[in-house]
C-alpha cells in the first residue's frame, strides 16, 4: 500500500491540491510521526456510530449526508511544541485545522469540522495527563485528553474523593477541556463548568504560548531555561481567574482563536453528606407552578445544585416501539399512560441537597413544603425506587460520579441520532411553558415526539430539546434539519437565543445575535483577523468566518 502521507483524502482542504496536501502531510509526519497522522481516505473511516467508540473524523449524528462534515486527515500532536509547530505549518500552507479533545461533542457535531476537508487536530490522543490535583486549593490542572471519567477515577484511586468531588455532564466520556470551552454544564453546585475553570494555557494561531490571568506572572522558582510550557506556573494560577488587565479567557470559548493545551478546574470540597431526590408532577400543566416555585429557591440557593425538570419521554428512555405502534407523535393521553406505567410524572424534577444532616434536613423540609403544594406531586429518594435507572443514575451524576447511562433516550428511534436545540429561558412559569408549547408543537409538526429538559442554572434555564431522528432515513434527517432551523427562527422572534449549537446551524444562530447592526459579530471578526490573519483555526466555528472565506460558499 502507498504510504499514509500519499493517500487521497475523501475531501481535500479548501484551495489545496493533492500535491500540496501530500507535502503538508509529509511535513506533519516529520513533526509528530506517521503513526499520529491518519488520512481520511475511505468510507471505512466513516463507520463509527457509537458514543462509546466515537469517530474522530466525521459527525456520527449527521443531518447532512455523512460525507459532508468530514476532515481530510486527523493528526495528533504529542506535546505542546508539536502544537506550536503545527500552527506554524498551517499558516505556511494556509490549511485550516479543527481542534477537538475527545470528539464526543455529540448532538453538536462530534469531532467533525465546520469546513469539510479541514485537518482534525486530535488533542486528546497523546496529551491526556492529569497534571495536578491540589487538595488545599481544591483544583486540578488537566490536559485535553482527560475525560470526566479519568478525573473521577483518579480521585477514587488516590483516596481523594473523601476530600474532593468533580462535576460531570450527563455523559462522562467527554473531556474536561472540550466541555468547558464549549460552556457545557453539569448538575452539582459546580455545574457551570466555565464559571469554575481557573487558569488556561493556550497556543495562539501564530504558535505563541500564552498563560491566562495569574499565569502571566512568572513563578520565581521556575527554571528559566526550561521551555515555557514546562515552566512551573505561578502558584495562584488555579486560585484567581482575573490576574491584571483585560480578562481574555472568554475569547477562547466557543471560538476559533487558540488551542487550549492545559486548563485548571475548581473541584468541590466533599460537602460531608448528600441526598438526591425526585419530585414527580402528575400533570402537564403543573410545569408552570413548578417553575414559579423553583425561581426563588434557586436564586436564594435553597436549591444548591443545577436541578433539572425533565419531560416524561426523556425518562422513558428506551425504544419507542415498546410503548406504541403508532407512527404519529404521542398524544397527551398516551404520554399520561407512559408516565403511569413507569410510576413517574409528566414532568420529573431531580435535585439534591449537600451538607451534614442538619443542613440537609432544613433545606429538604423547605423544598418538600414548596413542591408538595402542587396537587399530586410526590417526593422520592433513590432508596424508594431501586429499579428506576434514571433516578439511580441521577443519584450518581448529582454527586459528580460519571456515567454513560443517559445515552438510552437516543434509542427512542431506530438508528437513533440526536440534535440539541438549546435556548436560554427565564426561570418563570410563563416563559418555560411558552418555550415548551412552541417547541413541542414544532416537533409534532415535523413528525417527532417532544423530548426535553429544563436545566436550571443560577438565574436562567438551559432548555434542552432533544431532537431524536433516524440517521439512516433521509426523510427523518430532512425533518430534523427543518425542525431545528424553524425553531431557531421561532425562538429569535420571541427573544430566545441558543447557548450552543450544531455545526450545520451555527451561522443561522450567529445571525440572530444581531443587536445594533451585528455589533457582536463585527467585534468577533476584528479579533479573529487580528489573532488569526490567515484564518487557519476552525473557520466558520460559531458563525465566525475569516476574511479568506465567503460564508455563502459553505451554506448547508
Closest CA to 554 of 6, 11, 1, 3: 11
Extract the C-alpha cell encoding 313: 419521554
Q: List the x/- string, 110-129, binding to ligand ADP by CB under 6 A.
A: -x-----------x------
Stretches 96-104, 391-399, 419-427, 441-449: which one binds ligand ADP (CB under 6 A)? 96-104
Spot the catalytic one: 323, 350, 436, 499: 499
Q: Which residues pair with 416 in a beta bridge?
A: 470
- For 147, 327, 331, 433, 488, the CA distances from 465, given in Å and listed in that order, are 25, 20, 18, 13, 12
Stretches 103-111, 208-216, 294-302, 423-431: which one binds ligand ADP (CB under 6 A)? 103-111
Contact between 177 and ligand ADP per CB under 6 A: yes
Q: List Cβ neighbours of 247 (8 Å cut-off, separation of 6 or more).
A: 213, 241
Whether 209 and 258 have beta carbons less than 8 Å apart is answered as no
Closest CA to 10 of 54, 56, 58: 58
Stretches 172-180, 223-231, 335-343, 383-391: which one binds ligand ADP (CB under 6 A)? 172-180
Burial, 554: exposed, middle or buried (Cβ in 10 Å; 0-12, 13-18, 19+)? middle
Minimum separation from the CB atom of position 123 to ligand ADP (A):
4
C-alpha to C-alpha distance for 10 and 17, rounded to whole angstroms: 13
Extract the C-alpha cell encoding 283: 400533570
Stretches 102-110, 208-216, 361-369, 528-536: which one binds ligand ADP (CB under 6 A)? 102-110
Contact between 403 and ligand ADP per CB under 6 A: no
Contact between 501 and ligand ADP per CB under 6 A: no
Contact between 275 and ligand ADP per CB under 6 A: no
Spot the catalytic one: 108, 187, 350, 354: 108
Cβ proximity to ligand ADP, 144 vs 543, nearer residue: 144
Helices (H) and strands (E) in the chain, counts: 14, 19
- Count the site residues for ligand ADP by CB under 6 A: 21
> What is the sign of the dihedral through the CA atoms of 445, 446, 450 and 456?
negative
Minimum separation from the CB atom of position 429 to ligand ADP (A):
33
Contact between 172 and ligand ADP per CB under 6 A: no
Cβ proximity to ligand ADP, 172 vs 271, nearer residue: 172
SS3 percent helix, strand, coil of the chain, rounded to 5, is 40, 20, 45
Contact between 56 and ligand ADP per CB under 6 A: no
**Known catalytic residue at 499:** yes
Contact between 259 and ligand ADP per CB under 6 A: yes
Contact between 103 and ligand ADP per CB under 6 A: yes
3-state secondary structure (DSSP) of residue 429: helix
Length of the chain, in residues = 556
Binding site for ligand ADP (CB under 6 A): 99-105, 111, 123, 144, 174-175, 177-179, 181-182, 259-260, 538, 541
Active site residues: 108, 499-500
Amino acid at each position: 500500500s502507498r504510504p499514509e502521507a500519499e493517500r487521497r483524502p475523501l475531501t481535500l482542504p479548501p484551495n489545496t491540491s493533492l500535491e500540496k496536501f501530500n507535502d503538508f502531510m509529509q511535513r506533519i509526519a516529520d513533526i509528530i510521526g506517521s503513526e499520529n497522522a491518519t488520512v481520511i481516505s475511505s468510507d471505512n473511516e466513516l463507520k463509527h456510530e457509537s458514543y462509546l467508540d466515537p469517530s474522530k473524523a466525521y459527525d456520527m449524528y449527521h443531518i447532512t449526508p455523512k460525507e459532508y462534515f468530514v476532515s481530510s486527515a486527523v493528526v495528533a500532536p504529542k506535546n505542546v511544541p508539536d502544537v506550536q509547530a503545527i500552527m506554524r505549518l498551517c499558516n505556511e500552507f494556509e490549511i485550516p485545522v479543527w481542534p477537538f479533545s475527545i470528539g464526543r461533542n455529540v448532538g453538536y457535531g462530534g469531532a467533525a469540522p465546520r469546513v469539510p476537508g479541514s485537518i482534525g487536530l486530535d488533542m486528546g490522543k497523546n496529551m491526556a495527563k492529569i497534571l495536578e490535583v491540589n487538595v488545599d486549593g481544591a483544583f486540578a490542572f488537566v490536559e485535553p485528553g482527560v475525560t470526566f471519567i479519568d478525573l473521577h477515577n483518579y480521585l477514587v484511586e488516590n483516596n481523594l474523593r473523601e476530600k474532593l468531588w468533580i462535576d460531570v455532564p450527563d455523559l462522562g466520556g467527554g473531556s474536561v477541556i472540550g466541555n468547558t470551552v464549549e460552556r457545557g454544564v453539569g448538575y452539582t453546585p459546580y455545574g457551570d463548568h466555565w464559571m469554575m475553570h481557573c487558569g488556561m494555557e493556550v497556543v495562539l494561531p501564530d504558535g505563541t504560548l500564552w498563560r491566562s490571568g495569574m499565569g502571566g506572572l512568572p513563578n520565581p522558582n521556575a527554571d528559566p531555561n526550561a521551555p515555557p510550557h514546562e515552566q512551573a506556573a505561578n502558584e495562584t494560577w488555579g486560585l484567581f481567574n482575573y490576574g491584571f488587565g483585560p480578562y481574555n479567557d472568554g475569547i477562547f470559548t466557543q471560538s476559533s482563536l487558540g488551542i487550549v493545551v492545559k486548563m485548571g478546574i475548581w473541584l468541590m470540597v466533599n460537602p460531608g453528606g448528600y441526598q438526591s431526590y425526585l419530585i414527580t408532577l402528575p400533570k402537564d400543566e403543573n410545569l408552570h407552578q413548578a417553575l414559579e416555585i423553583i425561581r426563588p429557591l434557586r436564586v436564594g440557593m435553597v436549591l444548591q445544585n443545577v436541578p433539572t425538570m425533565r419531560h416524561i419521554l426523556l425518562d422513558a428512555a428506551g425504544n419507542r416501539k415498546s410503548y406504541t405502534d403508532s407512527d404519529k407523535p404521542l398524544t397527551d393521553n398516551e404520554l399520561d399512560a407512559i408516565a403511569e406505567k413507569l410510576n413517574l410524572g409528566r414532568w420529573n424534577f431531580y435535585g439534591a441537597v449537600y451538607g451534614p444532616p442538619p443542613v440537609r434536613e432544613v433545606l429538604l423540609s423547605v423544598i418538600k413544603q414548596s413542591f408538595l403544594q402542587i396537587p399530586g406531586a410526590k417526593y422520592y429518594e433513590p432508596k424508594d425506587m431501586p429499579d428506576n435507572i434514571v433516578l439511580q443514575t441521577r443519584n450518581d451524576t448529582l454527586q459528580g460520579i460519571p456515567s454513560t447511562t443517559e445515552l438510552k433516550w437516543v434509542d427512542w428511534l431506530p438508528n437513533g441520532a440526536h440534535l440539541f436545540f438549546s435556548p436560554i429561558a427565564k426561570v418563570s412559569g410563563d416563559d418555560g411553558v411558552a418555550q415548551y408549547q412552541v417547541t413541542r408543537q414544532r416537533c409534532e409538526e415535523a413528525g417527532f415526539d417532544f423530548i426535553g429538559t429544563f436545566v436550571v442554572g443560577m438565574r436562567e434555564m438551559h432548555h434542552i430539546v432533544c431532537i431524536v431522528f433516524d440517521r439512516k432515513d433521509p426523510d427523518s434527517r430532512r425533518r430534523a434539519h427543518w425542525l431545528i432551523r424553524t425553531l431557531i427562527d421561532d425562538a429569535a422572534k420571541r427573544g430566545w437565543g441558543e447557548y450552543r449549537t450544531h455545526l450545520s446551524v451555527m451561522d443561522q444562530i450567529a445571525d440572530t445575535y444581531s443587536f445594533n447592526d451585528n455589533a457582536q459579530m463585527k467585534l468577533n471578526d476584528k479579533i479573529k483577523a487580528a489573532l488569526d490573519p490567515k484564518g487557519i483555526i476552525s473557520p466558520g466555528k460559531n458563525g465566525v468566518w475569516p476574511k479568506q472565506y465567503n460564508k455563502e460558499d459553505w451554506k448547508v
